């Protein structure tokens, strides 16, 4: 999961301080503490849910975590497993030389069109 539990505690403490200070101006100390503790728990849970959602968004459906690779001046997101690469290699081996040449030519044309 993204981050640590310390982020939840810090976020909860900030929520506690905001609510405690705002409640203490009009209420007793005990009432302000109770409201502050309720806000601490609420903010803690909200921070946990945001961390969980961020982790869920940054992982792919197969459970592989996406990583950023820097190549030259471009950042590429890669999430291919070894099984995916093996499957691609097996598919390439099924093509004869003529089909492979046609596929390579088609890919080159697509890349040239994309660069224009």
- Cut 0.75: pTM above it: no
pLDDT given for residue 86 in this prediction: 64
Name the helix (H) or strand (E) containing 75.
strand 74-78
Q: List b or e across 49-71, with b for residues whose CB sees 16 or more CB atoms inside 10 angstroms.
A: eebeeeeeeeeeeeeeeeeeeee
Section 15-20 average pLDDT? 94
């Amino acid at each position: 999961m993204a981050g640590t539990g310390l982020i939840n505690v810090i976020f909860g403490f900030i929520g506690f301080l905001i609510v405690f200070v705002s409640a203490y101006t009009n209420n007793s100390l005990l009432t302000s503490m109770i409201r502050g503790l309720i806000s601490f728990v609420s903010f803690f849970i909200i921070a946990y849910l945001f961390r969980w959602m961020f982790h869920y968004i940054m992982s792919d459906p197969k459970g592989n975590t996406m990583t950023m690779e820097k190549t030259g001046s471009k950042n590429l997101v890669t999430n291919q497993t070894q099984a995916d690469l093996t499957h691609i290699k097996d598919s390439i081996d099924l093509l004869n030389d003529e089909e492979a040449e046609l596929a390579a030519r088609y890919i080159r044309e697509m890349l040239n069109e994309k660069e224009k």
